[in-house]
Structure 1
Amino acid sequence: MISLPEIQERYQEWSREREEPVLINYGKEAYRFSWSHTFGGAEVYRIEKKNNRYSATVKIYVSAFGTYEDSLVHSSEKWISEATWIEITEGLNENSFWTYPPTIERRGLDGAVWSLEGYNPTKNKCTRQNYHNIGRWSPIDSIFVSMCDLFMNLKER
């Protein structure tokens, strides 16, 4: 689905606006959870493996009342422990991240858009893919929410 030109264009525009890398062919293992509310505000959490070390990037955006323009209010990049990396990546694997349905039929007004994506230079054995993206509108699926929650603790680490 991400290969459709109009979706790919929106994805690349989102990446430029958030100053985030495009993960489709990233080249190194990385995972990202992003959350964006209908009325403004967003959070982006990315972990990646860099030369056998692990980093986490956290970005928090807010929007001024009555506008749809988000402003970056917090940005941090820090090294995380191998244990934290393993906790997140094993949590994703235990919940079948790589084979999880990319979309479902659930839409609405208001609410929030949740996106979870990953890239691994080694193709997944089941899907034979390097990249996977899961998107939901105001999810009620507890498995998907638990995968996203793995990233939320990065604010405190």
Structure 2
Amino acid sequence: MKDQSIAKSIFCFLFFALIFLSSCQVKEECSKFLAEEYLDEQVDTTMTKSAPEYRDTLLKWLGETPIKGLNCSAYHLLFYSSHGFGQSIKFVKKNSGCFLRVKCVTKEGWDSNCKEYQIKITNEEWNQFEEMIYDFNFWTTVPQFKTTEGVLDGYVYLLEGKRPEAENCGKRTYRFIGRGSPIRDKIGALCDYIMEYEDQLALSYGKREIK
């Protein structure tokens, strides 16, 4: 009888210890999402409809694929200017590693330093990139779409993010935002930094020359 009581006590201890450890693991996995709060925003139905159509057109021109259906973490920036230059910058984190792929579209005769390539980057380089995403509040910033009126020779940024791991934490797993010729805009600044970061990586991996 005494042995049964001891066994039962040990079982209860192990059971609650397992629950505690599982809870700690979930909290650690969700730590970077916990502070996120999603504000209500007035949706511009025109932009909500036209932005995905414009994105799909750019994807077709660039020979790229959308990230929404991926089952891994990924971020995809599309840039297009009124001068006919476009660039796709895609960061993907898989079980096999972290990757950066760049594609370009230019007018014939256009002098561009953009060259298409794909490289495997380090976890540290991915973490540095993802830190920018969170520092600039990509997952929470509103409005979703915004344009600056009256700009000549403008350009567009479209940025998508996918993070399946956030589902277990009750947070957003997909986000699509856009900016047209942004001025003093946090998401516009984030997109600028992503372009600069890609340029740094391209130079360090020998995929681009200094002009």
Q: State if a TM-score over 0.5 links the two structures.
A: yes
Q: How many residues align?
A: 152
- Are 1:31 and 1:48, in contact at CA under 8 Å, matched by a contact in 2? yes
- Are 2:62 and 2:105, in contact at CA under 8 Å, matched by a contact in 1? no
**Displacement, 1:96?**
0.9
Q: Tell me the SS of whatever aligns to 1:99.
A: coil
**Displacement, 1:52?**
4.6
Which stretch shifts more, 53-62 or 126-135? 126-135
Partner of 2:68: 24
Pair 1:86 & 2:127 matched: yes
Structure 1 gap segments, 5+ residues each: 66-72
**Displacement, 1:129?**
2.3
Correspondence for 1:133 among 156, 172, 176? 176
**Displacement, 1:62?**
1.5
- Are 1:30 and 1:49, in contact at CA under 8 Å, matched by a contact in 2? yes
Whole-angstrom CA distance in 2 between matches of 1:38 and 1:27: 34
Whole-angstrom CA distance in 2 between matches of 1:107 and 1:42: 21
Whole-angstrom CA distance in 1 between matches of 2:169 and 2:141: 11
Q: Tell me the SS of whatever aligns to 2:183.
A: coil
Q: Tell me the SS of whatever aligns to 2:129.
A: helix
Cα 1:154/1:6, change in 2 over 3 Å: closer
Larger % of helix: which? Answer: 2
Correspondence for 1:113 among 148, 153, 156? 156
Whole-angstrom CA distance in 2 between matches of 1:94 and 1:6: 28
Superposition TM-score, scaled by structure 1 size: 0.79
Computing the radius of gyration over CA atoms, which structure comes out larger, 1 or 2?
Answer: 2
- Listed as ranges, the matches of 1:143-154 within 5 Å are 143-148=186-191, 149-154=193-198
Superposition TM-score, scaled by structure 2 size: 0.61
Structure 2 gap segments, 5+ residues each: 1-44, 202-211
Larger % of strand: which? Answer: 1
Partner of 1:99: 140
Q: Tell me the SS of whatever aligns to 1:74.
A: coil
Which stretch shifts more, 77-86 or 126-135? 126-135
Higher RCO structure (Cα 8 Å, ≥6 apart): 1
**Displacement, 1:112?**
0.4
What amino acid is aligned across from residue 187 of structure 2 in structure 1?
F
Q: Tell me the SS of whatever aligns to 1:123.
A: helix
Cα 1:13/1:40, change in 2 over 3 Å: closer
